[in-house]
Amino acid sequence: MSLIEDLGRARTEEDVKDAYIKALGLKGVFKGLVDIQTPEIWFEAKEAATPPLLMFAQLLTYVRAARKRGEAIPGFLCVIDREKAALMATEHALPILEDKAIQWPKSGSAADKALAAQIAPVIETHFVLYQIDGYEAEFIKATKDAVREGRIIRTPITPDNLRQVFDKWVAMVGVELGVKREADYAVLFFADIMHDGRNEAMRNLPARLLFSGDKPVFILGAEQYDLASERGYRNFWNIYHRPPEQKHRHYLLERRDSLLPMDDQKFKGAFYTPLHIVDKAYDQLAATLGADWQQKYIVWDMCAGVGNLEAKHSNLRNVFMSTLDAEDVTIMRSNPAFAGAEIFQYDYLNDDVTDFGEIDYELSGKVPQSLRDAIVAAREGKKGAKPVLVLINPPYAEAMNVDNRKDEGAKAGIKQGVSKTRISHGMDHLGYAARELFVQFLHRIMIELPRSKVAIFSKLKYVNAPNFALFRDGWTAKYLDGFVVHSLAFDGLKGNFPIGFLSWDLAVEERSEAIDTIALDRSGAIIDSKVFYRVPPREPLADWIIRPRSNSEPALPLQNALVPTTRTNDVRGRYWADGAIGSMICKGNDFQNAGNATALLSSGYNSAGAFFVTEENLWQAAIVFAVRRVIKPTWLNDRDQFLQPSQPLSDEFKSDCLVWMLFNGSNLTAGADGLRWNDRDWSLTNHFIPFTEAEVGAKARFESDFMVRYMTGMASSPEAQAVLDEGCKLFQRFHATQFPNKIRKDLKLNRADAGWYQVRRALEAYGDIELTDFDPFKAAYASLTEKLRPLVYELGFLAT
């Protein structure tokens, strides 16, 4: 089948991509931020017909970012849609990638017609346009020839990437040489890079590189080293250009003694930053601050630990490293990788902070005079002063301020008393955010280094969490750029959430409404782009629902469907509300909480953020429940905030959400007697059964028919009706089954008005294959789920 025929059958952008991949016979394909990526050629793809200039604008945004990060760039670029394709050699676009007159966006998705117009004069005469209908064969031949040619735009070796290049050389080349002494790696590395593949660029080096045919052979003294495998060698020199420019060669040689192989174990401290993620951070800083940032900036890492973030720095004389523990200072000073850096013990959150929150270096005398001078010069804008870059990965500890929750804090990994620092005494106006240690670092940095740039690894709370709004009011720094990476890349961090490496300019007051980032997986590979909204487009969903006031009638606070809370004081829902039919756990306003803190109960609650459900707010409760649970949580959306809807909601959407809630696994409503709490027996009335006694074959009367009455006259969509039909069959099976005593006792099956939680758990526990055939129900429920998921975004409950 031809390309044009496959494109005619395409229904999605993925279909378009697959059609081109098949027609061109592409190998080594990766689909990610760049739609189709091979070592030789990158593609930007669209399902609908799109102007080539607009597609090239987006693709070149990715190329520019990758080039600044020091990654290999392919020799050819191609843009494709279902009607046409355009091919161009990458070299023709290189002049515009560094053009400061062009306003490049933070992400490729933000490339627009204005950018297309700016790049048009340079590239529109260089790309060849093919209409697939009529020129399919010509396009395929030209593209296959380009792939076969395999030109790659290589990254130069400079003083600023020397450490990173050396570490990659050791991993890809050095380990294949069978070297006896690790110290010899640096000598062999320089013999390799000071050679253009045919001739030596520098003579009289301690080691030499020769070639036997096209096979490299290294000579060091009387030893000869051959590569056990040449694959890594070829791959390495596909990425980097050699030799380095003439102006850099002697400086690079002077750095040889500092190039000892890195052992990750030497750098594992309490807040260990893996070296492959440090690599990405340095690439990002080069893209953000310029390729010469290591020469240009004074760097201070005031929570250096054992020096992870400086392990890749190639100009240590510009680096100051301080840390709380004297033992870490000893470790860093003994590490040759940090020769030239100024290393000292310093408690940044306590040392040199006066009673009035000012900074006085004379209090401790610990800060080196050279760093003091650099700070003053930068703050006063003295001519020739080097700017200061704060490069940190501070601790993520949070303190609790409520003494009677010490046990709860310990279980949550929250550290008691950590907020009681000298700098925190002047942070009461920041509210909840003042508990966070990394916020305390930022607070002092704003006071002490108001003209500096800050590059920080941290959670994203300070960017978009509602509890950090007071901090953001005073955090006016201009966002420069950054990435987020999976938390599992970091040793010792539990959970699945993004860690951001974001760069800010404190000297420029510019509140960004949106923070555009690149998303990396735990290995450091680019997988997506991600926007975090510093200023939400709308009010939070948590403020949307009507929350009834409690009355004086006692209620049973539950922590699960049938489990009363173990507390007898400091509980939330211990009193009922007028007209209440149940309650909903609804902690937080983001995915971090939604997965395990969204549930419907038949009585009171034991959770902050919960509320009572009444006939008046039931429709809202069902929507909030569905919106919080219907989208699959991932590490990347973990901090996304739920928003109030951006448009009117249809009756069908409301009823779909209600049915979805009623048959969700977190519908924990139940009917039961004999629940013991606070020296009293309690009963639960279930108001959430959508069927009558006759419909399900119940043997006794339900105490409440609220849900049947509520749903009378409500039109159900086909998907919702299918769930009701299959759910009814399961209720019928439940009421027709005689369960053994253990199941009846465990699930409190002592009343007719058992809830969905009890029905499904009892049928599952009974274990009869016929009775526990949930497949038809699961299929119907999955269909309703797939219908609701896109509506969450379309109706504005989540920002894209």
Of all residues in the chain, the percent with pLDDT exceeding 70 is 94
pLDDT at 396: 76
243 cis-preceded (ω within 30 degrees of 0): yes
Confidence of residue 400 (pLDDT cuts 50, 70, 90): very low
DSSP 8-state symbol, 744: H
Report for 75-79, 96-100, 193-197, 330-334: range of highest mean pLDDT: 75-79
- What contacts 237, CB < 8 A, 6 or more positions away? 154, 197
Q: What is the DSSP letter of 126?
A: T
pLDDT of 409 > 70? The answer is no
pLDDT of residue 412: 34
**Quick one: average pLDDT of 174-183?**
89
Residues 582-599: tens digit of each pLDDT: 999 999 899 988 988 999
Residue range 721-744: mean pLDDT, rounded:
95
678-693 mean pLDDT: 94
- Per-residue pLDDT of 337-377, as tens digits, reads 888 899 999 999 999 999 988 999 999 999 999 999 999 99
Amino acid at 337: A
* Segment 696-714, tens digit of pLDDT: 999 999 999 999 999 999 9
- Rounded mean pLDDT, 19-43: 91
Characterize 505-541 residue by residue with b for buried, 16 or more Cβ atoms within 10 angstroms of its Cβ, and e for exposed: bbbeeeebebbbbbbbbeebebbebbbbbbebebeeb
Q: Collapsing DSSP states into helix, strand and coil, what is residue 760?
A: helix
Of the two residues 783 and 557, the one the predictor is more confident about is 783
Tokens of 551: 């009355």
Q: What is the pTM of this model?
A: 0.73
For 36-81, how does the pLDDT look when each residue is reduced to its tens digit (9 = 90+)? 999 899 999 999 999 999 999 999 999 998 887 778 889 999 999 9
- Mean pLDDT, rounded, for 664-677: 94
Query: What is residue 119's predicted lDDT score, i.e. its pLDDT?
Result: 93
- Highest mean pLDDT range out of 336-340, 511-515, 623-627, 636-640? 623-627
Q: Does the pLDDT at position 406 exceed 60?
A: no
Helix (H) / strand (E) element for 223: namely strand 223-226
Of 582, 614, 588, nearest to 600 (Cα)? 582
pLDDT recorded at residue 343: 97
Per-residue 3-state assignment (H helix, E strand, C coil) for 617-686? CHHHHHHHHHHHHHCCCCCCCCCCECECCCCCCCHHHHHHHHHHHHCCCCECCCCEEEEECCCCEEEECC
Q: What is the rounded average pLDDT for all residues in the chain?
A: 89
pLDDT of residue 570: 64
Strands 41-45 and 580-586: unpaired
Q: What's the mean pLDDT in 519-527?
A: 88
Position 414 scores a pLDDT of: 41
Give percent of the chain with pLDDT exceeding 90.
58
Cα end-to-end distance, the chain, whole Å: 37
Q: State yes or no: pLDDT of 416 exceeds 70.
A: no
The interaxial angle of helices 52-68 and 275-289, nearest 10 deg, is 120
Confidence of residue 747 (pLDDT cuts 50, 70, 90): very high
The residues near 716 (Cβ < 8 Å, ≥ 6 apart) are 655, 659, 724
Helix (H) or strand (E) holding 784: helix 775-794
Per-residue model confidence (pLDDT) at position 401: 40
CA pair distance 761, 747, nearest whole angstrom: 8
Cβ-Cβ contacts under 8 Å for 388 (sequence gap 6 or more): 297, 298, 299, 300, 374, 375, 378, 449, 451, 452, 453
Q: Which DSSP category does 313 fall into?
A: -
Task: Report how far residue 790's alpha carbon sits from residue 710's, in angstroms, rounded to the nearest whole number.
Answer: 27
| Beta strand pairing call for 477-486 and 514-520 | parallel
770 band by pLDDT with thresholds 50, 70 and 90: low
Query: Residue type for 130, please?
Result: Y
pLDDT of residue 726 exceeding 90, the answer is yes
According to the model, what pLDDT value does residue 678 have? 87
- Rank 87-101, 262-276, 734-748 by mean pLDDT and report only the highest: 734-748
Q: In the prediction, which pLDDT does 404 show? A: 33
Residue type, 749: L
Mean pLDDT value of segment 633-648: 92
Is residue 22 predicted with pLDDT exceeding 70?
yes
Q: What does the pLDDT average to over 768-785?
A: 87
Confidence band of 439 (pLDDT split at 50, 70, 90): very high
d(CA 62, CA 80): 16
Tokens of 284: 């990002």
Q: pLDDT tens digits, residue range 378-397? A: 999 898 899 999 999 998 76
- With vertex at residue 263, the alpha carbon angle to CA 261 and CA 267, rounded to the nearest 5 degrees, is 125
What CA–CA distance (Å, rounded) separates 528 from 517? Answer: 9
Burial 60-78 (b: 16+ CB within 10 A, else e): bbbbbbbbbbbeebbbbbb
> How far are the Cα atoms of 93, 104, 171 from residue 101, in angstroms, in the given order?
15, 9, 39
Q: How far is CA 712 from CA 439, 654, 705, in A?
A: 53, 14, 11
Reference 113, options 49, 65, 58; nearest CA is: 58
- pLDDT per residue as tens digits for the range 221-245: 889 999 999 888 987 887 788 899 9
For the segment 430-445, the average pLDDT, to the nearest whole number, is 93
Look at residue 607 in the predicted model and tell me its pLDDT: 79
pLDDT band at residue 761 under the 50/70/90 scheme:
very high
